[in-house]
Structure 1
Amino acid sequence: MSALTETFELRNGVKIPKVGFGTWQIPDGEVTYSSVKNALAAGYRHIDTAWQYGNEASVGKAIRDSKIPRDQIFVTTKLPAKSKTYADSLHFFEESIQNLGLDYVDLFLIHAPWPWDEMGADYSKENVEVWRAMEEIYKSGRAKAIGISNFNVQDQKNILEHCDIEPMVNQLQYYIGYTEPGNVRFAKQSGMLVEAFSPLATGYLLHNQEVGDIAKNNHVSVAQLAIKYCLQHNILPLPKAINPAHIEENTHLDFVIPDEDMETLDSLVDTAPGEDHNE
């Protein structure tokens, strides 16, 4: 069994493949369609998209055209960050379902605790209403699991203090040299699975000399090392790639990063100058 088909178990018993294929910043149309099609052919069974990415339709078409049984592919999408009312949240979920052309998603996340153009603003009250919609969607069976993304400790606490159904996932920015320790620790202690978006720091990590040297010593690529680093911290990585060779290469994770290398990687900071952070 490979990391692509091994699973984590969410708090509600739903099983989620340990590595997902991310589609952030992949243009809609043929590029997204081919990337997802190639990822599925390479063995990925977990695809991550979002309303905000504008590529749900191409993701859904690739999934449908793959002829892989629907229950064998784990599909995640996300509520747009600008959606901060109960009614809007139900509306945007319907849009995503229609875009994807699927009857249900396996995981539905609040993309951020604030609209993107108001990063860091306090939307605590609104997020409680949004979470009420998320719970309704979950109870309908059209999202097999629900969760959050980009939520810091205070935003996580706000949901946990006002929910009937606790979030099952927190998707955070996480890569070698930027691991959000406080947010990750709180999420894990609260029973959430942490997912890592941008585990390659949108490519910036590939140019880091220290990381490159450790990858070379382990006879793997920087991308493989970065993905495995997440897994060895029990974090679910969501690598993105467009090149079919890179998509394939990133599936080869049958190695172990030695403890001493993990300690070195854990000690690194500022490994990807130029990468934006949601702070």
Structure 2
Amino acid sequence: MALNLQSTVKLNNGVELPRLGLGVFRAPRGQVTRQAVLSALSAGYRHIDTARIYGNERDVGAAVRESGLPREDIFVTTKLWNEDQGYDSTLRACERSLKDLGLEYVDLYLVHWPVPGRRLDSWRAMEKLLAEGKCRAIGVSNFLEHHLDQLLAHAQVVPAVNQVEQHPFLYQPSLLRYCADKGIAVEAYSPLTKGLRLGDPRVVEMARRHGKSPAQVLIRWCLQHELVVIPKSVHEERIRENASVFDFSLSSEDMQRLDGMNEDLYTGWDPTDVP
């Protein structure tokens, strides 16, 4: 079946996660974030990704309410920040996020970073929050294979999602295969390399050939690797452009060429050396 803006992936607990969402990392607090979320929802997005550390949960929640859409139609993700990790502090952090969002539950709650010595206690708390209905699914972010190995050895619930940086310049097929084998959906953040590689002549040429923008090529690459993808923008025209990726496809040759561009480029956090 052809992908479209309403396409979802079924998580390992049966929850449906929209394949394309809006990220609000570093989106300014206040009207800018609120308007970005409203623009995305108006354009047909139904997936919004925020985090405690972004400082804009209140604005995301306000936009969700202002949109007039039924709450159950909007998939909202937020994340547990590092300083809040630990069992009791995770429970408190989730309550704070729900209060700031103005929501009774979040659709996905993620452990933001594999903090050594605390992530297992955090995960136990996440499992409790899931059982209590405070979140519909739980997962992790920035976890590599060795982090997941440790977690899975102790977990009662397999993470539904692993959100990691992923784009052709940071292509980790072994991690993608690992997650697929464990039934963990992979979600790509910073798919546009924070703009650092949008001018790469190979991507520019491919975009020209398809009559698309370099950003649209990078988003489409993620989708064709069966990733969930959350490009960030606060500009309405770019939010709409980022969603206009379902009327073309990359050939197998295009995909192979993009795969071959890997240079292990982390534009944000690199968890490689985190024990």
Which residue is 2:62 aligned to? 61
The C-alpha deviation readout for 1:52-77, integer Å capped at 9, x for no partner, is 10000001100110000001000000
Which residue is 2:178 aligned to? 186
Which residue is 1:119 aligned to? none
Contact kept in structure 1, 2:91 and 2:129, CA below 8 Å: yes
SS in 1 for 2:211: coil
1-structure distance, mates of 2:125, 2:176: 25
Q: CA deviation at 1:271?
A: 8.9
Q: CA deviation at 1:25?
A: 1.3
Which residue is 1:220 aligned to? 212
Structure 1: 5+ residue stretches without partners: 115-122
SS in 1 for 2:243: coil
1:127 aligns with 2:131: no
Contact kept in structure 1, 2:105 and 2:135, CA below 8 Å: yes
The C-alpha deviation readout for 1:173-205, integer Å capped at 9, x for no partner, is 001121223322212211100000000011212
> Which segment is superposed worse, 206-215 or 72-81?
206-215
Which residue is 2:241 aligned to? 249
What RMSD in Å do the two structures reach over aligned CA positions?
1.5
1:268 aligns with 2:261: yes
Which residue is 2:14 aligned to? 13
1-structure distance, mates of 2:65, 2:3: 23
Q: CA deviation at 1:159?
A: 1.1
Q: CA deviation at 1:241?
A: 1.1
Q: CA deviation at 1:3?
A: 2.7
1:19-38 alignment, distance < 5 Å: 19-38=20-39
Structure 2: 5+ residue stretches without partners: none
> Which segment is superposed worse, 169-178 or 263-272?
263-272
2-structure distance, mates of 1:84, 1:267: 37
1:172 aligns with 2:173: no
2-structure distance, mates of 1:29, 1:235: 30
Residue 33 and residue 264 in structure 1: after superposition, are their counterparts in 2 closer, same or farther (change >3 A)?
Answer: same
Q: CA deviation at 1:153?
A: 0.8
Q: CA deviation at 1:276?
A: 3.6
> Which segment is superposed worse, 199-208 or 85-94?
199-208
Contact kept in structure 2, 1:45 and 1:72, CA below 8 Å: yes
Which residue is 2:191 aligned to? 199
- How many residues are aligned here? 269
